[in-house]
Structure 1
Amino acid sequence: MTRRSDRPIRLAVYLPDLSGGGAERLHVRLAPYLLDQGFEVTLLLDRARGELMEAVPAGCRIVALGADRQIKALPKLVSFLKRGRPDVLLANMEHMNVMAVLARRLAKVPTRIVATQHNAFSEQVKRPSWQWRALPRVYRLAMPHVAGLVAVSAGVADDLTAATGLDRNRMTVIHNGVVTEDFAERAGARPEHPWFAEARPVVLGVGRLVAQKDFATLVAAFAKVAAATDARLVIHGEGPLRGALEAQIAALGLGERVALPGFTANPLAALAHARLFALSSRFEGFGNVVAEALACGTPVVSTDCPHGPAEILEAGRHGRLVPVGDAEALGAALSEALREPRDPAPLRARGNAFTVAHCAAQYADLFRTVLEASERKAGRDG
């Protein structure tokens, strides 16, 4: 058997596309570090699209399966595994994790599968379709066959065990990396929205305009803040709930105090210039933007949602935590934080614990570990 140390490790990272989601952004950021460590990196996509396509680093290959639905990807994934024979396939998203296990079995290749759990599993399976309702049972059958199982926070790992019965000891917690080498440069850029250049304090929210992020509670909380201060609220993001949020803002008479400027390619500029960052999510997997806000030195008020923010904030040591869906408590915490003197140094120190370099090193160590275990097993069996 050829030892893997004699050649670069072939790594394929399986994603739906390169849209601006947290998992996609993470792996585009990890790619150059893994390339520097000698990995051959392929971004394996169901669909070749997304705003991050232009951000893929030189030396990183893109392979698109051309599948518009997950089930249609299966035969193409099998073909890729037979043809490309990667040493490791790093799968992301719940159904892709299952599909990777099945494809490897059908392809009959020695590729090691590492599955990643990016979000709270128990929340994901509440979606109203049989594919999600069946997922706990499917996970119990499929996940014992992966070589590695990554959870992006300890809370996500605990939740996955509670929801599926999978062995918590087989999971590896790797916090997402958000601090890049050009972090300070991006944070120092001029924000797109003009309110950040004015003297009045700005409270900032960032995320897709979807139910998970619960911006309706943030807007309701800010109405209480607006009644007693001259602060403004900016929510960067786009999504299907824009119309409902705009109607809520109008009904509360906040049209001159709340802005929904849409997606921004560089949220760090806004985070660095905001007086406060507010996370109102019902659930998270990690909460990248919380770590980014801290690394910018910006105070954070967050819901104590499952899972991630409380780990990042160390149970409230580095920011305020409030109950999920409680506009009264969120408004009070925002008002208190606006009055409190700002010391960015300890916040930056905590945020800088979440570097992309450290995250990449942990993934690289895991890949090498699962391959070494595979080689030892092959030696015993051979």
Structure 2
Amino acid sequence: MTFAFPGALETKTGGYGYDRRVIAGLLELGWDVELLPLGAGFPFPDEESLTGAERLLSALPDGACVLVDGLAFGVLDVWAARDAQRLQIIALVHHPLALETGLDGNQRRRLEAQEHRALSQVAAVIVTSPMTARELTENYSVPASLITVAVPGTNPAPAARNSNAVPRILSIGSLTARKGHDVLLAALKQIEDLPWSATIVGSTAFDPHTSAYLQSLVEELGLQHRVVLTGEVEDATALLATADIFALASRYEGYGMVFAEALAHGLPIVACHAGAVPDVVPEDAGLLVAVDDAGGFAGALRTLLGSPEIRRSYADASRRHGRALPGWDVTARIIAECLEAQFKQRRS
């Protein structure tokens, strides 16, 4: 099968991490996976990039099975309509493109219409959470029978120490509007009477405007001596293992792999009722507040910071739930079964 993806596969985001692990898992299961890079700029490619991606996909031989990452697939509606009859097209949807934070009304409507048309041409859809499956059936007219849910796997991890004299708050997420780091910073300002330090890890490449704003906000709030913006890191395992609290104020998540990683390390979590986050973070492992509620977020952090006993209780529950999370081998097998079903249909 062919795996088509936009941008650079080594990009440090949850979505690309999912792609890499799925490809590795399929190879381990004996699949022959051909990688097809579609170019940069998605989901807002220029005309040249879009035409180039369509040309690459249309060069696939008749009957080929192609799995297309949703960051590109959602705007490839014209190509999908043209080639759906001769190819087995499978979409991998991390979350609908129109649900990204920061879009204006016209952008949102255009992306929703394009992705709706593209999804009408697929042989199957793979999603990363039950919430995204519901979103596609209810708002994108995708039959439930075409959808396979393949929740991201989680690596076994050492338990965090949870014992720093000055509690360490860790947040991991690209510096984009959707990740809500501005809400976290506003919340941290409200609890500066308490002892804590905070580290925010995330790439600055996807949204330079938001990245610059967050850096200036740290200084504006007078938190530069307590908050560190590290940028992208190669491996956040050491940071997770030495943190006391994981906090991320995402405005939307199609799944939220980083929350599962926090559970695997046994970190108490503060997050928002956003997208699939409530499906990932159990009530006894984390405190969830309304989206964009900086005061509520501050209150949740204050609860954990103010009582080592409460923090330990949430950490123990987090670790327990983290041990029960599926591994990447399970994710790969689910996707392999979906692909096998498509090959059987083609042969029949």
Q: Give your verdict on TM over 0.5.
A: yes
2:213 pairs with 1:244 = yes
Question: In structure 1, which of residues 346, 363, 375 is the aligned counterpart of residue 335 of structure 2?
Answer: 363
In structure 2, give the amino acid aligned to 1:347.
S
Structure 2 CA distance for partners of 1:24 and 1:72, relative to 1, 3 Å: same
Counterpart for residue 262 of structure 1:
231
Question: In structure 2, which of residues 38, 43, 46 is the aligned counterpart of residue 46 of structure 1?
Answer: 38
Question: In structure 1, which of residues 91, 95, 100 is the aligned counterpart of residue 68 of structure 2?
Answer: 91
SS where residue 191 of structure 2 aligns? Answer: helix
2:170 pairs with 1:204 = yes
Contact 2:101 2:251 in 1 (8 A): no
Contact 1:11 1:90 in 2 (8 A): yes
Question: In structure 2, which of residues 198, 201, 206 is the aligned counterpart of residue 233 of structure 1?
Answer: 198
How far off is 1:106 after superposition?
A: 4.0
2:82 pairs with 1:116 = no
- Counterpart Cα distance in 2 of 1:373 and 1:101: 24
Matched-pair identity in %: 28
Question: In structure 1, which of residues 68, 77, 87 is the aligned counterpart of residue 57 of structure 2?
Answer: 77
- Counterpart Cα distance in 2 of 1:201 and 1:282: 25
Cα deviations across residues 249-301 of structure 1 (Å, max 9, x unaligned)?
22222121111121111112211211000110111111110000000111111
Q: Give the aligned CA root-mean-square deviation in angstroms.
A: 3.0
- Counterpart Cα distance in 2 of 1:319 and 1:20: 25
2:255 pairs with 1:275 = no
SS where residue 90 of structure 1 aligns? Answer: strand
How far off is 1:101 after superposition?
A: 7.7
Contact 2:68 2:92 in 1 (8 A): yes
Q: Which runs of 5+ in 2 are unaligned?
A: 42-46
How far off is 1:124 after superposition?
A: 3.6
Larger Cα Rg: Structure 1 or Structure 2?
A: 1
Counterpart for residue 312 of structure 2:
342
- Counterpart Cα distance in 1 of 2:196 and 2:289: 20
The number of aligned residues is 333
How far off is 1:76 after superposition?
A: 2.2
Q: Which has the higher contact order (CA 8 A, sep 6+)?
A: 2
SS where residue 243 of structure 1 aligns? Answer: helix
1:1-382 alignment runs, 5 A limit = 10-18=1-9, 19-47=11-39, 69-79=49-59, 81-82=60-61, 87-97=64-74, 99=76, 102=79, 105-106=82-83, 109=86, 111-124=87-100, 127-128=103-104, 132-179=108-155, 183-184=156-157, 199-227=165-193, 229-239=194-204, 240=208, 241-305=210-274, 307-314=275-282, 316-338=283-305, 339=307, 340-343=310-313, 344-352=315-323, 353-376=325-348
Cα deviations across residues 194-219 of structure 1 (Å, max 9, x unaligned)?
xx996311111111111111111100
- Counterpart Cα distance in 2 of 1:201 and 1:336: 13
Cα deviations across residues 163-206 of structure 1 (Å, max 9, x unaligned)?
32333443222212232xxx538x89xxxxxxx99631111111
Contact 2:247 2:270 in 1 (8 A): yes
- Counterpart Cα distance in 2 of 1:171 and 1:13: 19
Contact 1:291 1:354 in 2 (8 A): no
Contact 2:84 2:121 in 1 (8 A): no
- Structure 1 range deviating more: 268-277 or 349-358: 349-358
- Structure 1 range deviating more: 324-333 or 87-96: 87-96
Moved over 6 A (4+): none
Contact 1:125 1:133 in 2 (8 A): no
Provide TM-score, normalisation by structure 1: 0.78
SS where residue 291 of structure 2 aligns? Answer: coil
Contact 1:70 1:96 in 2 (8 A): no
SS where residue 184 of structure 2 aligns? Answer: helix
